[in-house]
Structure 1
Amino acid sequence: MNGENEKWTPDKINLYYNQKQSQMTKLEQPQAFGLIQSIIVFEKGDMMSGGNPPLKAEVVNEMRKSGAVEYVYDEPISIQINDGDEKIERIKFNSILFPIDKKWDGAAYIQTTDSTYLYMVSRPSLDFILRHWIE
């Protein structure tokens, strides 16, 4: 694994489902940890578009209640945000939340080191990919 991909490998994975939470590490549950990583596909990069308002705590809680996977990092990852006004700022985050309910449209949200949740990227669903290539 190269260094760039390695920095995106979480130290822990939190699982939220049916209002319950579980946590795993690669060392404790390597097979399940690897399986979840193979299912959660998202674009990794050093730059993301900004401009979206932060999520409210109630929305984050709703996402977790309806089911989510959260990658947690012991050391924050640093990326740049371009807010669209040619203003680029560097932020650090220590987790990525992937809600699994369809109503969130495959979105992923980073939790910054000051506990703000920001939209990061939308992940394409298999349904979306099939419709795009077949229609």
Structure 2
Amino acid sequence: MTAIALQDALITALLGDGTVSALVGSRVYDNAPDKVPYPYITLGPYQEITDDAECIEASEAYQQIDVWTQEAGSQRGCKELSRAVKKALHGADLALSEGAVVLVEVESWSVQADPEEFVSHGIVNVKVLTED
């Protein structure tokens, strides 16, 4: 499994989820373009840890999904979108272009105020176990 294959599968899963797409349309990015309208989703930090066993090449991948909303002092929309991302990915059957997904688990999510006025930032932490 490559990090790119997992990234593509996560984006496809998010865009394919009715609740997520109803909230953000097609605004799910690796890196958001300038002046993208709110709300939107970006991929944050990624880490992969080798977890090989006898005769099995495996990895634990950790992908942060960032949720961005802009509301007049409210975090409600960010909480709604973060929860929708969790529901779309937790236990998802992701199809990879190489390798196989064993488990997708949303370990946690949180919402915080962003330094930019009226912007809320949701962080959804996803763990994916894979085999090559």
- TM-score above 0.5, yes or no: no
TM-score by length of 2: 0.29
Greater relative CO, 1 or 2 (CA 8 Å, sep 6+): 2
